[in-house]
């Protein structure tokens, strides 16, 4: 939702992660109706902020990987992977389930470690 994105941008601005100019440009892009796949660039150097915003539109880098708060069943790992890598969350859930079954629980261990070490958005 647009209101959630603007609220998040405001929080980043208040925390000092965004300058006033960066906040205004990002807010203008969100309000102009940037598509969900087209992320707003907030960093002048490499196009990413580490907060999940990205100008590449496709697969982001793993530095921006965050667990999802909105798209979650357990820890939000699959929703975060979906937002970062561009595959739907249900595909990631299926992959983790199949990997868990075929490898005697190793998929569940990978999910648990990601739940612990990947920060929440």
Residue 93 included in any domain: yes
- Is residue 27 domain-shared with residue 56, that is, in the same domain? yes
pLDDT category, 1, cuts 50, 70, 90?
low
Residues 36 and 15 in one domain: yes
Q: What is the pLDDT of residues 21-73, one digit of tens each?
A: 887 888 888 777 754 444 444 343 444 444 444 444 444 466 678 888 888 88
Q: Based on the domain organization, do 52 and 98 belong to the same domain?
A: no
User: What is the span of the domain harbouring residue 93?
Assistant: 77-117
70 lies in some domain: no
Final residue in a domain of this structure, among 42, 64, 86: 64
Look at the alpha carbons of 45, 2, 31, 39 in this order and tell me if their dihedral is positive or negative.
positive
71: in domain: no
Cβ atoms 96, 107 nearer than 8 A: yes
Domain membership flag for residue 85: yes
Most confident range (mean pLDDT) of 2-6, 62-66, 110-114 is 110-114
> Average pLDDT in the 90-109 region?
91
């Amino acid at each position: 939702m647009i209101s959630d994105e603007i609220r998040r941008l405001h929080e980043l601005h208040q925390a000092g992660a965004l300058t006033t100019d960066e906040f205004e440009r990002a807010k203008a892009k969100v309000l102009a109706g940037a598509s969900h796949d087209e992320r707003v660039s907030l960093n002048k150097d490499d196009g990413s902020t580490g907060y999940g915003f990205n100008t590449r539109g496709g697969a982001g880098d793993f530095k921006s990987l965050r667990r999802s708060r909105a798209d979650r069943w357990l820890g939000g790992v699959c929703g975060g992977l979906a937002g970062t890598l561009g595959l739907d969350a249900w595909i990631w859930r299926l992959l983790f389930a199949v990997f868990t079954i075929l490898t005697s629980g190793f998929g569940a261990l990978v999910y648990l470690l990601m739940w612990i070490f990947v920060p929440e958005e």
